[in-house]
Amino acid sequence: MSHPQTILMFVVLAPGVVFGILASLWLLGWTPGERFLSWITGLTFSACALGIAALVWTIASVSNVTVTFGNWFAVGDYHFPLVLVADRLSLPFLALAVVLSGLIGQFSATYLHRESGFLRFFLLLHLFAFGSLLAFAAGSFDLLAAGWEIVGITSVLLIGFFQLRLGPVENGLRVFGVYRACDIGLLVGVFAMHHWAGTASFDRGFPSLTGARAVIVCLLLFLAASGKAAQVPFSGWLPRAMEGPTPSSAIFYGAISIHAGAYLLLRAQPLLAHSVLASAFVIFVGVATAIHGTIVGRASADAKTSLAYATLTQVGLVFIEIGFGWKWIAVVHILGNATVRTMQFLRAPSMLHDYHQMHSAIGGDVSSAGQQIEEMLPERVRLWLYRWAFDRGHLDTSLDRWVIDPLLHISAYLAKLDRIGMARTTIQSRGVAPIPLHGPAGLRGD
Amino acid sequence: MSLPGWIFRAPFLTAVSVAVPWFAAALVTGYRRHMRIIGCIAALVSMAASAVLLREAPKGESLYQALMLLFSGLTLGATLVLPRRDCTVRTISGILFLLGSTLLAYSTENLLVLLAAWTLSAIPFLIPGWFRARTWRPLAGVLLSSLALALAIGLIATGTGVISIESLRGQSPGGLAAFGLLVVAVIFRKGIFPAHAWVADQAEGGPAVPTALLLNGHFGALLVAKLIVPLFPRVDRLFPVLSYLAIGTMLYVAIRALGENSPRRLLAFVALSQSACILSGLESRTPEGIAGALVHWVVVAVSTVALFGILRLLEVRFGENLTASKHLGLAEHAPRLAVSFAIFGLALVGLPGTLGFCSQDLLIHGTLTSHPLTGLLLPIATAMNAVSIFRLFARLFLGKRRTGFTVMADALPRERWILAAGVLFVVLGGLFPNAIVVRHSAETDIAEQAIATPADLDLAGKVNGLPGIVRFLPRPAKGSEQEFMAESQLR
């Protein structure tokens, strides 16, 4: 194994190894202190950043770096390849993940000082970094899916970080449900690639996937990308995700996680190029999301939510760029948006302080930023738009009404069927109340 | 001094693995002291014997030895994790009795012994005061499954006069009636829709850990693998019925779990839903599907027993009226139990980095290849199960702390070490799955060759020279169903 290959392997695996060691030691009874956690996090990500710098140097002068570990598992003709790739597309994302994870780690050491979940946060940060690096460095959609799922679960666990409050916990459950539903697209899409093209590796280029097959695979991958990137109609989970601590909101919904969907589509670009229909669909959803994001963001009352919608608007634009095939514009857009939003998210808790500072420095009122574009609309339309924005485009209520409520009603009906022939007393024998017809509230996010 | 060779022979080792737990069960009943130690030693002996059997088994013929090792390991873990309150003579003797019966069912090649083992394994769940639930449905489910199996074996034995499974291979003994009765036995024992309700009733009204062990014997899947497929290769067009029933159960129970608030019932539904897809994988007749089903068998068994064990530990500490209708905030008191619960739960529904991810991946590929609709519904049901298990985790462990009781202990060292071993198994299995997948892959590789070469099905319908799991793979043969129907009518 050459040096660049070793470095790539180190960069991807290091956060995962740190997570594994710290988690195992904690399970066996040892709890590391804050200073140690901060130190080990800084050390890990600094070393990874150096590694990334070396990889940038290598790729600029030589070519892509590929590490092949063989197959994770193989049965018959099917195999799950373990291939890591650092190329011109993955490297910017790897750099973004490493640098921002390190920065968030250092920021959080102060921000979460003496917080009861300090260790939990850092463990999840390392796991998230491992998942995102695995997804970005994956040489096939199989491995990308593995990293993708890890990012999803850490995201959900960090939304519920403040576990004593019901809001974050229930919102985490809601986000988990949306993620899992959309990830079906990725699982089935990867299968379709194996079935029709015989591989899910990026390097082969899927020459046999054309026509209807390419459209089906693209749409399946797009379903997964839309879920992770909170595109319309799955945008409802984004404001709920703001319940997590600010540093995690910054790295997940300002930078890495929300752009993972765009990265998936960038990887599927050769397929998208074969499918006008799928590209048109990506553009359509991107436009819808950008409009949705900008309108709803204007009616958001809190800083983090309005920042999240600002990010969403930009991600919608990125999807449009990908749909048009402007790959490198999309990459630059993602890098710029991710960096700026992370900074804005991290400053969000100090917004009032910043405002007062600016106010004192100016020595008077801060002047108005100018006329808002919506003021050009008739008042009736503005009121309608406000109501629409206030309910966040009715996306969550529609999801409740058309998906979750029917499922819970069916569940309650099946519970009734199950009770046939059973005395009521036996059903309640363990002190459990009978299930109400409307089902448990948690799934609805009430 | 070297040990005599007969110690390492299969019959002796099988006898040891079966007889020692039964003897220990009798000893516990008579001696009534040191129950946990006796139980652990007996399970450990069974485990060691099974491990030697597995090591000595030829490549491609090690499925049942692997299952024996798995079940004895599960029993050892369950005996260790059992709360002191539950560590009674009845519980330990019942668990050991169940262990012996289950290993006998795995190891036998004789129809009557299989029937005896099947029935014996259910006996603790039929006797009031032992593991019997308070409702009638578990009793009915277990009894009807035994009755159906007895009738099927009776038909086969009277029709052919042969009780050796090996000799009956490929002969479709007993005709369509025997086939139907065997399917009925699977439906009742495995809890396939519409006979699913007894599983939840047993989980709720019976003891948690023994019930988990009963369910994870997976006798329904065993019957499919051991009898139905190898004995009835000519009805391969009827086998998809099993797959459709399994996926129907998976979906039905997954939806049912979404609205369930009793933790035990919810867990039972999720476990049932996840284990139903083992049948789909076995029936898919693709190497990926079969290997996925076998690996999933392992994952479901380990995760389910661990989850029921943790739930029981929580009940013992925090009261038996736990519910998923409100947040209990137990993670504040029991963080390690919470983390273990999360890991086992996520492994059960296929989180990457756990063995469940590999099994789900293989299952989805296998079933999508053979039955696209089934394969499409499988990830949907799994997604719903994931939501249910995460909801249960959130409700039990997150939220505001409960008040009104003194501070309770987190996992005790004994529990912590055994749960850590389980976590290590599912996580290391997920990181390095080849160790487990390759073992089954060796069998499915040969299976693939068997599917491709139907010529070696001779006139008597016997499969020649095909070891292990291959023998329960039906070969597609045009018109075989009609021939079978005509033959069964003649009989």
**Predicted confidence (pLDDT) at residue A431 exceeds the cutoff of 50:** no
What is the average pLDDT across A252-276?
92
Verify whether the Cβ–Cβ distance A163 to B440 is below 8 Å.
no
Which of A149, A184, A430 minimises the CB distance to B379? A184
Verify whether the Cβ–Cβ distance A408 to B336 is below 8 Å.
no
Tens-place pLDDT, residues B124-133: 999 888 888 8
Percent of residues, chain A, with pLDDT higher than 90: 67
Show me where the domains of chain A are located: 1-139, 162-349, 393-444
Tens-place pLDDT, residues A16-65: 999 999 998 887 778 899 999 999 999 999 999 999 999 998 887 777 88
Nearest residue to A336 via CA among A369, A311, A371: A311
- Which residue of chain A comes nearest to B135, CA vs CA? A426
Q: Which residues in chain B are contacts of A28 at CB distance < 8 A?
A: 416, 420
What is the average pLDDT across B288-316?
93
Q: Which residues in chain A are contacts of B339 at CB distance < 8 A?
A: 23, 27
Verify whether the Cβ–Cβ distance B287 to A78 is below 8 Å.
yes
Q: CB burial class (10 A; 0-12, 13-18, 19+) of residue A87? A: middle
Verify whether the Cβ–Cβ distance B324 to A429 is below 8 Å.
no
Q: What is the mean pLDDT of chain A?
A: 89
Q: What's the pLDDT at A427?
A: 45
Which of B259, B352, B423 minimises the CB distance to A27? B423
Interface confidence, given as ipTM, is 0.90
Which of A131, A169, A407 minimises the CB distance to B327? A169
Distance from A378 to chain B by nearest Cα, in Å?
Answer: 44
Distance from B460 to chain A by nearest Cα, in Å?
Answer: 29
Cβ neighbours of residue B46 closer than 8 Å, sequence gap 6 or more: B16, B17, B18, B20, B21, B68, B72, B75, B99, B100, B103
Q: What's the pLDDT at B2?
A: 64
d(CA B490, CA A364): 102
pLDDT higher at B489 or A22: A22
Q: Are A121 and A115 in contact (CB under 8 A)?
A: yes
Q: What is the mean pLDDT of chain B?
A: 85
Which of A74, A146, A163 minimises the CB distance to B441? A74
Count CB neighbours of A276 within 10 A: 10
- For the record, the structure tokens of B166 come out as 């090996």
| E runs forming strands in B42-171 | none
d(CA A326, CA A272): 12
Nearest residue to B438 via CA among B47, B48, B57, B60: B60
Verify whether the Cβ–Cβ distance A432 to B321 is below 8 Å.
yes
Verify whether the Cβ–Cβ distance B353 to A73 is below 8 Å.
no
Verify whether the Cβ–Cβ distance B416 to A443 is below 8 Å.
no
Cβ neighbours of residue B37 closer than 8 Å, sequence gap 6 or more: none
Tens-place pLDDT, residues A119-153: 999 999 999 999 999 999 999 999 999 999 999 99
Cβ neighbours of residue A355 closer than 8 Å, sequence gap 6 or more: A366
Verify whether the Cβ–Cβ distance B288 to A76 is below 8 Å.
yes
Q: What's the pLDDT at B349?
A: 93
d(CA A370, CA A353): 23
Verify whether the Cβ–Cβ distance A28 to B137 is below 8 Å.
no
**Predicted confidence (pLDDT) at residue A366 exceeds the cutoff of 90:** no
- Which residue of chain A comes nearest to B203, CA vs CA? A430
Q: Which residues in chain A are contacts of B369 at CB distance < 8 A?
A: 195
- Our measurement of the distance from residue B381's CA atom to the centroid of its chain's CA atoms, rounded to an integer in Å, reads 19
- Which residue of chain A comes nearest to B201, CA vs CA? A427
Please calculate the CA angle B65-B70-B71 and round it to the nearest 5 degrees. Answer: 100
Q: Which residues in chain A are contacts of B250 at CB distance < 8 A?
A: none
Which of A28, A146, A153 minimises the CB distance to B420? A28
Q: Which residues in chain B are contacts of A132 at CB distance < 8 A?
A: none
d(CA B87, CA B458): 54
Enclosing H/E stretch for A84:
strand A78-86
Q: Which residues in chain A are contacts of B379 at CB distance < 8 A?
A: 184, 187-188
Nearest residue to B436 via CA among B78, B73, B70: B70
**Predicted confidence (pLDDT) at residue B95 exceeds the cutoff of 70:** yes
Which of A77, A131, A442 minimises the CB distance to B391? A442
Tens-place pLDDT, residues A207-223: 778 888 889 999 999 99
What is the average pLDDT across A298-319?
94
Q: How many residues are listed for chain B in this entry?
A: 491
Which of A191, A418, A440 minimises the CB distance to B261? A440
- For the record, the structure tokens of A50 come out as 């150096």
**Predicted confidence (pLDDT) at residue A111 exceeds the cutoff of 60:** yes
- Which residue of chain A comes nearest to B315, CA vs CA? A430
Per DSSP, B350 falls in state T
Which of A71, A149, A411 minimises the CB distance to B259? A411
Q: Which residues in chain A are contacts of B365 at CB distance < 8 A?
A: 78, 191, 194
**Predicted confidence (pLDDT) at residue B84 exceeds the cutoff of 60:** yes
Distance from B415 to chain A by nearest Cα, in Å?
Answer: 11
Q: Are B290 and B358 in contact (CB under 8 A)?
A: no
Q: What's the pLDDT at A174?
A: 94
Distance from B134 to chain A by nearest Cα, in Å?
Answer: 8
- Amino acid at the residue B7: I
- Which residue of chain A comes nearest to B134, CA vs CA? A426
